[in-house]
Amino acid sequence: MSAEDYCDLCDLPKSQCIHGNPPAPPPPRATARTATPRAGRPVVKKAAPSRSVPRKWTPPEAFRPDIVAVLEEAGGQLEQEELFRALEDRMAERLTEADHQTTPEGELRWRYAARRARQALIADGEMTKGRPGVWSLG
Ligand SMILES: [Zn+2]
């Protein structure tokens, strides 16, 4: 039998982490606001849905090259908190106000996106799932 399962996102035991069930929703795609309006069919402007979360989060893909770069500069691995500090510095000018807001679970959105980027990097073999709480290049 496996020992206690660890959360893929935060490396805490699932019983302790904030992600749990149900799985967190995927990040939003590009906003409609920046899209060029099309001539022709009339655009019906709808009021924002009641949950007025700004849709300007940086997607996980945007974090991938910077996570890899930070880890390379650190020699291949970093404690999660150190990685977040370095990543935040590195991406400071690109992170949006919305990125600095928190998810319903109370986690900073950009950190959540970075965790998802890490999962993708692990899936692609660019990173390894090492010790819990440590981010490592593969
Ligand atoms: Zn978790």
Length reported for the chain: 138
Number of domains, the chain: 1
pTM of the model: 0.66
The string of pLDDT tens digits covering residues 40-79 is: 666 666 655 555 554 589 999 999 999 999 999 999 999 9
Listed residue (63, 82, 79) closest to 134, CA to CA: 79
Q: The domain containing residue 61 runs over which residues? A: 55-138
Q: Ligand 1 centroid to 122 CA: how many Å?
A: 16
Tokens representing 12 are: 């805490």
Residue 7 in any domain: the answer is no
Q: Ligand 1 centroid to 60 CA: how many Å?
A: 16
Q: Ligand 1 centroid to 135 CA: how many Å?
A: 15
Rounded CA separation 116/123 (Å) = 11
Residue 74 in any domain: the answer is yes
**CATH number for position 92:** 1.10.10.10
Worst-scoring range by mean pLDDT, 31-35, 39-43, 79-83, 108-112? 31-35
Listed residue (123, 119, 125, 129) closest to 26, CA to CA: 119
Q: Ligand 1 centroid to 54 CA: how many Å?
A: 23
The string of pLDDT tens digits covering residues 84-125 is: 999 999 999 999 999 999 999 999 999 999 999 999 999 999
Q: Report pLDDT for 24.
A: 53
Q: Report pLDDT for 55.
A: 59
Q: Ligand 1 centroid to 76 CA: how many Å?
A: 23
Q: Report pLDDT for 54.
A: 47
Please provide the DSSP assignment of the chain as one string: ---SPBPTTT-SBTTTSS--SSPPPPPP-S-STTSPPPSSSPPPPPPPPSS---S-PPPHHHHHHHHHHHHHHTTSEEEHHHHHHHHHHHHTTT--TGGGSB-TTS-BHHHHHHHHHHHHHHHTTSEE--STTEEEE-
Q: Ligand 1 centroid to 45 CA: how many Å?
A: 37
Rounded CA separation 42/51 (Å) = 25
Residue 81 in any domain: the answer is yes
Q: Ligand 1 centroid to 44 CA: how many Å?
A: 39
Rounded CA separation 122/125 (Å) = 5
Residue 95 in any domain: the answer is yes
Residue 117 in any domain: the answer is yes
